[in-house]
Amino acid sequence: MPKDVATIDPITLQVIRGSIETIAEEMAHVLFRMSFSSIIRESEDLGAGLFDTEFNTLCESESTPMHIGSIPGYLHGIQDTLDDGEWYEGDVVVHNHPYHGSSHTPDLAIVIPIFHKGELVGYSANTAHHIDIGAATPGLIIDVPDVYAEGMLFAGTKLYRKGKRNETMWRFIRNNSRAARQLVDDIEAQISSARLGVKRFNELLDQYGKELVFGACNQLMDYSEKMLRQRIADIPDGEYRAEGWLDDDGRNRGQQLPVKVCVRVSGDSITVDLTGSAPQTPTAYNVPFEGSTKVAAFAAFRKLLLDTATSDTRVPSNQGSFRPIEVIAPKGSIFNPISPAAAEARFTQCNYMIDLIMKAMAPVLPEEIIAGSSASISFASYAGVRESGDYWVFLEVNEGAYGGRPKSDGPDAIDNLMANTRNNPLEDLAMHIPMVCERYELRDDVMPGAGKYRGGIGVVKAQRMLTDGIITHESERHSNVPWGIFGGTEGAAGKCDIYNVGSNEAPEVMHSKFHGKEVRKDDVMAYYSPCGGGYGSPLERAPNKVLDDVLDGFCSPEHARDVYGLVFDLEAETVDLAATQKRRKEMATAS
């Protein structure tokens, strides 16, 4: 690769940057517009981009962060496993093996080599979450013995070889999924998207020449790296630690799993050391190291140090932003499992790790970090069998809430940290799947963490089955409440109930992770996501904001009086500022 071409003028650099970013966005656009399963088309649980022959990310679509940065891992894995041992023009590869670099098995990557004038110059690739790849149970899995229960494993598998379709492989795939039609059609959508990337990148190479384009890409990677290193250099050198607990592994109830984070800052580099975290679990509750653990650690520092909402310059999304960060997780641990451990349910551990990184950095980055967030996910698979004998499978990502922030409240009911999907419109869902939503609102059974800036409020989503079926649910933080910080109070834990609309029986209280739960017609799963912790003392919260929260039902009148020291007239909807000030002084003295 020509690395040392003369510095490229800023206009050309800007144009090439815009062009490759546009290609990535266009690839993602085709993928979600064209696809069939709601997890791709509505939730946009996907990633797409261009990569050089050394597997560096040149650009990636702004889709969900868990996908961003994961594709280099896939490319390394394909290198080791590729059919024929080499790439041909017209090849299309599918890959998802978690011990060969994938993020987790349902996220299939489609990779097409980019040949320019007969020479391999890079790859066009995307990843997307598929609803069923023939695992032990429909959709998601947790309590399974090993990676072979996760479904079809693809490693460097060619779906097209030299432009010729490998019909045997396609028939095999079709025969091994409960949602074969959607799986196969969504793979076709991925191929269309990757082909578009090849076409567009070739056009760019034709227009500007290979030297110039790759020279610009290298310059952009160096730029991203430099930006991140500058911010790291501003942090005092040292070791910053935090630890917490995960609920359980989805099988061994009551056995919490430790997560330990040590952030070592040295000059303009960072090491995230996860040593001391739980050993790998006997279920699928493990995190593939290359495709997920590292990706989450990279993302944590992009959020923390290159915040796109507060910085004036937008740093390009490429390999450069990964380089300053090293990640250590001992082999055989929950963040670096050894084959054949299953490793499909890996999201909540990643999010929790990021939350702990914030906590660890609080002493030195008080104006950048935020209080404890929901830092989990609610990932549910609902499935059943239609009268025709065909399966239906629906995957749903439920949102969480952020912790209070140095200058503003934690956002309510929104995808948290590594997650950033879109919800599935309930009206669209009900037109396609034998389910109907009973309730989708902010939680009103608990208060979010109080503070000068309060924590975000989680949601309650109650989904009702209209046929018998099976539910698997991956979530966290039923026992570990998001923390408050700098005087803010803690938020609220998550919970999940199952009940039947026609029955008077008490709801069944569910664990945060459960697998393959058989449910009946009219059973409802009600999920309550955790609420964020507060930032700063509640007594410093602007009185009118507390009143607003009371009127809007975000805060009970008692909570406003007892925790925020607010004196107010609910009927007149007014605050007594003088009395509030006096009461707050008394409360401050008393504590």
Partner 1 sequence: MARIGVDVGGTNTDLVLECSKGTFFHKVPSTITDQSIAVVDGIHQICDIAGIAKEDIEVINHGTTVATNITIEHNGAEVGMLTSRGFRDILHIGRHKRPHNFSLHFDVPWQSHPLVKRRNRIPITGRILPPTGEVETPLNEDEIREACALFRKRDIKSVCVGFMFSFLNDEHEKRAGEIVQEEMPDVYLSLSSQVANVIREYERFSTVAMNAFVGPQSALYLRNLEQKVRDGGIPAKLRVIQSNGGISTIDGCAKKPVGILMSGPAGGVLGALSEARLAGTTNILTVDIGGTSADISTIAGGELRIKNPRDTLVSGHAVMAPMIDLETIGAGGGSIAFLDEAGGFNVGPRSAGSEPGPSCYGRGGCEPTVTDAQVVLGRMDADKFLGGDLPLDSALSHKAIKEHIADPLGISVTDAALGIIKIVNNNMALTIRSNSVARGYDPREFSLMPFGGAGPFHGVALAELVSARDILVPIAPGITAAMGLLGSDLQYEHTRSVITNLFTADQAALDKANGVVAELTDCGRLDLDADEIPEDLQNFEVIAEMRYHGQGFELRVPMPKGGLTLDNKADVINAFHAAHKQDYGYSFDDALVELYNVRVIATAKARHLELAKLPKGASNDVENAFMYERLTVFDDGQSHVTPRLDRGKLGAGTRVEGPAIIIQHNSTTLVPPGYSAVVQDYGSLRLTKI
Which 445-464 positions form the footprint of partner 1 (CB under 8 A)? 459, 462
Contact 127, 103 (CB under 8 A): yes
Could you give the 3-state DSSP secondary structure of residue 21? helix
Q: Which stretch binds partner 1 (CB under 8 A): 71-79, 147-155, 229-237, 422-430?
A: 422-430
- The least CB distance from residue 182 to partner 1, in Å, is 7
Told to check if 423 binds partner 1 by CB under 8 A, we report yes
| Residue placing its CB nearer to partner 1 in the complex, 245 or 486 | 486
Which position among 7, 168, 175, 310 is part of the footprint of partner 1 (CB under 8 A)?
310
551 scored as a contact of partner 1 (CB under 8 A): yes
C-beta of 349: minimal distance to partner 1 in Å? 20
Contact of 469 with 383, CB cutoff 8 Å: yes
The smaller minimum CB distance to partner 1, of residues 59 and 93, is found at: 59
Nearest Cα neighbor of 102 from 75, 63, 133 is 75
Is residue 126 at the binding interface for partner 1, with CB under 8 A as the rule? no
Distance CA 164, CA 168 (A): 12
Separation of alpha carbons 348 and 476, rounded Å? 6
Distance in angstroms (rounded) separating the CA atoms of residues 408 and 370: 10
Alpha helices in 209-308 (DSSP H): 210-233, 294-305
Contacts of 156 (CB under 8 A, 6+ apart): 77, 78, 79, 80, 81, 82, 83, 93, 95, 100
Q: How many residues does the chain have?
A: 591
Dist. CA 580–CA 590, nearest whole Å = 15
Residue 238 interacting with partner 1 (CB under 8 A): no
Task: State the minimum distance, in angstroms, from the CB of residue 405 to partner 1.
Answer: 6
Q: Is position 438 an interface residue for partner 1 (rule: CB under 8 A)? A: yes
Q: Does residue 132 interact with partner 1 by CB under 8 A?
A: no
Q: Is 149 helix (H, G, I), strand (E, B) or coil?
A: helix
Whether 589 contacts 583, CB under 8 Å: no
Question: Is residue 15 near partner 1 by the rule CB under 8 A?
Answer: yes
Rama region for 522: left / alpha / beta (φ>0; ψ in -120 to 50; rest): left
Compute the distance between CA of residue 319 and CA of residue 214 in angstroms, rounded to an integer. 13
CB of 581 to partner 1, least distance (A): 25
Q: Which two structure tokens, joined as six digits, stand for 587?
A: 């409360």
Which of 120, 169, 362, 436 touches partner 1 by CB under 8 A?
Answer: 436
Rounded Cα distance between 150 and 138, Å, is 10
Residues 58 to 77: which contact partner 1 by CB under 8 A?
A: 62, 64-65, 68
Q: Do 416 and 403 contact (CB within 8 A), yes or no?
A: no
Partnered with residue 575 across adjacent β-strands are 568
Label residue 124 left, alpha or beta by phi (over 0 means left) and psi (-120 to 50 means alpha): beta
Tokens of 12: 């050309």
**Nearer CB in complex with partner 1: 386/582:** 386
Residues 6+ apart with CB under 8 A from 74: 95, 100, 101, 102, 103, 109, 111, 125, 127, 291
Q: Using the rule CB under 8 A, is 167 a contact of partner 1?
A: no
Count the site residues for partner 1 by CB under 8 A: 82
544 touching partner 1, by CB under 8 A: no
Please identify which residue in 290, 399, 476, 523 interacts with partner 1, judged by CB under 8 A: 399
Considering only residues 352 through 391, tell me which ones interact with partner 1, judged by CB under 8 A: 358, 368-370
Give me the residues paired with residue 496 across strands: 527
Instruction: Write the CB contacts of 212 (distance below 8 Å, at least 6 apart in sequence).
Output: 5, 8, 12, 16
Q: Does residue 351 touch partner 1 according to CB under 8 A? A: no
Instruction: Tell whether residue 177 is a contact of partner 1 (CB under 8 A).
Output: no
* 407 belongs to the binding site for partner 1 (CB under 8 A): yes
Residue 83 vs 396, nearer CB to partner 1:
396
Indicate whether 486 belongs to the interface with partner 1 (CB under 8 A).
Answer: no
Which residue stretch of 138-146, 339-347, 419-427, 559-567 sits at the interface with partner 1 (rule: CB under 8 A)?
419-427
Determine which residue in the list 105, 421, 472, 489 makes contact with partner 1, applying CB under 8 A: 421
Find out whether 354 and 418 touch, Cβ atoms under 8 Å.
yes
Q: Which stretch binds partner 1 (CB under 8 A): 165-173, 424-432, 470-478, 512-520?
A: 424-432
Question: Is residue 413 a contact residue for partner 1 (CB under 8 A)?
Answer: yes
> In the range 195-234, which residues lie near partner 1 by CB under 8 A?
195-196, 200
Pick from 88, 170, 245, 440: which binds partner 1 (CB under 8 A)? 440
Nearest CB to partner 1, comparing residues 496 and 539: 496
Is the CB of 309 or the CB of 590 nearer to partner 1? 309
Q: Which of residues 269-308 bind partner 1 (CB under 8 A)?
A: 299, 302-304, 306-308
- The one among 238, 279, 553, 557 contacting partner 1 by CB under 8 A: 553
User: Which member of 86, 387, 427, 445 binds partner 1 (CB under 8 A)?
Assistant: 427
Shortest distance, position 94 Cβ to partner 1, whole Å = 16
* Residue 420 binds to partner 1 (criterion: CB under 8 A): yes
